[in-house]
């Protein structure tokens, strides 16, 4: 994925969003697609003002099945005031923070 052009990465995120909408993946995996770091940067965050990225992020904001926390993070990306995604993974059904921010 690190070599994908932005438009292909947005398509990948859209496929993940479709899987989320169809309950094939949970929000954690959807968020992982959006938060993937490419060569120490994140294509979504870096290109937050790109029309394709903005449309994708606004689609997530409108989804009533997406958590408030994730929506708040998406809003901060869209405004350019992003401080970092909360990176939380699950182990034996417990929340375990692995990093505070990425």
Along the 102 residues of the chain, how does pLDDT read in single tens digits?
667 888 999 999 999 999 999 999 999 999 888 877 655 567 888 888 899 999 999 999 999 999 999 998 889 888 877 666 554 444 444 444 444 443
pLDDT the model gives residue 78: 85
**CA–CA gap between residue 85 and residue 102 (Å, rounded):** 6
Q: Write down the pLDDT at residue 81.
A: 72
């Amino acid at each position: 994925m690190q070599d994908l052009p932005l438009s292909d990465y947005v398509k990948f995120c859209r496929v993940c969003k479709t899987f989320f909408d169809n309950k094939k993946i949970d929000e954690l995996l959807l968020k992982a697609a959006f938060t993937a770091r490419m060569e120490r940067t994140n294509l979504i965050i870096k290109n937050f003002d790109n029309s394709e990225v903005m449309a994708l992020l606004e689609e997530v904001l409108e989804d009533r099945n997406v958590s408030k926390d994730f929506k708040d993070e998406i809003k901060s990306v869209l405004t350019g005031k992003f401080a970092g995604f909360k990176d939380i993974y699950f182990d034996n059904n417990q929340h375990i923070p692995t990093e505070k921010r990425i």
